[in-house]
Amino acid sequence: MAKLSVKINEIEKSYPIFINNKPLNTLKDDIMTRLEGKKFLVVISEKVEKLYGKILGFEKSEKFILKDGEKEKNFINYKKILERALKLQLTRKDTIIAIGGGVVGDLAGFAASTYMRGINFIQVPTTLLACVDSSVGGKTGIDTDFGKNLIGAFYQPNAVFINTNFLHTLDDRQFKTGMGEVVKYAFIEKSCKADEELNLTNFLSENTEKIISRNLSTLEQLIEICIKLKISVVEKDEKESGLRKILNFGHTYGHAVEKFTNYKKYTHGEAIVKGIEFAFNLAVKKNIIDKNYKFFADDVIKKFDFKTIPDYPIEKMINLMKMDKKAEFEYITFILPTDYSEVGEFKFTEKDLL
Ligand code: GLY
């Protein structure tokens, strides 16, 4: 069992992250000890509610059950959550608790950030992707017809409770989508500037079988390593003005893959792995790294048997990458590998890429 903490702006908002595999019927009590006010609203994924609703033990009146899927991260559900909170007469001291994957966390977090100009917020991530990425660091938001996450806020939670028991029932594809982000951390580790050497690449090699078979204590260790790396980055750059951009490794091209396939064909993690492969190829072509590092990376990626995604026409991908919210005027920004577990920021024009 680990307890990590995140310090944003030194002390302005520091919060604990608990990682354990305690029985799930103890989770509610653990959460209750962290509440400031008496009242709370639980926003819970429908799937998680079906599987674990009883054992978690929240009353029906305390829950807002959110259907699953990215399309639920919308204005309508945002409004509904706020209205439920108003009906329950939550005050600023009360808490919104998100139990689910990234969609639930992002949506409930954004509602928490704007309800009464900010109410307490607790994250309980139930997917590997949410455990290693979206539940930590304070990015919240909703999607619109104009794009994903274009409306949102940086809003840090008050606490994060990670319980690996939830990961048992993730389907294989959802588990692997989380592994896509895990693999990303291995390639950016040194650039995260963590105080200790975590050596995620070695951990992945030495524990491949245990990870694939979801050994609980191995998953705890794996999540702890990834979160330590994320904390190190977020503490240094909460609002993504510099260092935090490295967390977007694989995302420039990966987001284009997701958009090109209407967010239907591939999961986020699958698209990110394709984006990582694209970044390695681009770095070789631009003589930033030598081929041996790319072959090494291919081997790390191969261990987890991610879905193969074809190369889509580069002109179309460039157009989509130009529309990314992180694109600047004529340049497309990429985070590219520069050395083993190190990355840097590079800007290319359309011509450079063609
Ligand atoms: N998911 C990337 C970040 O939190 O910055």
Structural domains present in the chain: 2-170 (3.40.50.1970), 180-353 (1.20.1090.10)
Instruction: For ligand 1, say whether the CB of 268 is within 6 Å of any of its atoms.
Output: no
Instruction: For ligand 1, say whether the CB of 47 is within 6 Å of any of its atoms.
Output: no
CA 121, CA 90: separation in Å to the nearest integer? Answer: 12
pLDDT of residue 190: 98
Q: For residue 140, report the distance from its CA to the centre of ligand 1, in Å.
A: 10
Instruction: For ligand 1, say whether the CB of 149 is within 6 Å of any of its atoms.
Output: no
* Stated pTM of the model: 0.95
Q: Where are the alpha helices (DSSP H) in the chain?
A: 27-32, 46-56, 75-87, 102-114, 128-129, 172-188, 200-206, 208-212, 216-236, 251-260, 268-285, 291-302, 314-322, 350-353
CA 129, CA 147: separation in Å to the nearest integer? Answer: 20
Instruction: For ligand 1, say whether the CB of 139 is within 6 Å of any of its atoms.
Output: yes
In the chain (354 residues long), the average pLDDT of successive 10-residue segments reads: 83 86 97 95 98 98 96 97 98 98 98 98 98 96 90 96 96 96 98 97 97 96 98 95 97 95 94 98 98 98 96 94 73 96 96 90
Q: For residue 25, report the distance from its CA to the centre of ligand 1, in Å.
A: 30
Dihedral, 42, 48, 50, 53 alpha carbons, nearest 10 = -50
The catalytic residue positions are 117, 139, 181, 230, 240, 244, 248, 251, 255, 268
- Report the residue among 123, 140, 184, 244 best suited for mutation to probe ligand 1: largest number of ligand atoms under 8 A from its CB: 244
Instruction: For ligand 1, say whether the CB of 237 is within 6 Å of any of its atoms.
Output: no
Task: Please report how many Cα atoms fall inside a 13 Å half-sphere around the Cα of residue 334, on the Cβ side.
Answer: 28
pLDDT of residue 328: 66
Q: For residue 247, report the distance from its CA to the centre of ligand 1, in Å.
A: 6
Point out which residues pair with 70 in neighbouring strands. none
Q: For residue 93, report the distance from its CA to the centre of ligand 1, in Å.
A: 27
- Report the residue among 127, 129, 134, 252 best suited for mutation to probe ligand 1: largest number of ligand atoms under 8 A from its CB: 134
DSSP letter, residue 263: T
Quick one: 164 exposed, middle or buried, by C-beta within 10 A (0-12, 13-18, 19+)? buried
pLDDT of residue 81: 98
Instruction: For ligand 1, say whether the CB of 129 is within 6 Å of any of its atoms.
Output: no
Dihedral, 333, 335, 338, 340 alpha carbons, nearest 10 = -170
Report yes or no: 304 and 183 within 8 Å, Cβ to Cβ.
yes
pLDDT of residue 10: 62
pLDDT of residue 146: 84
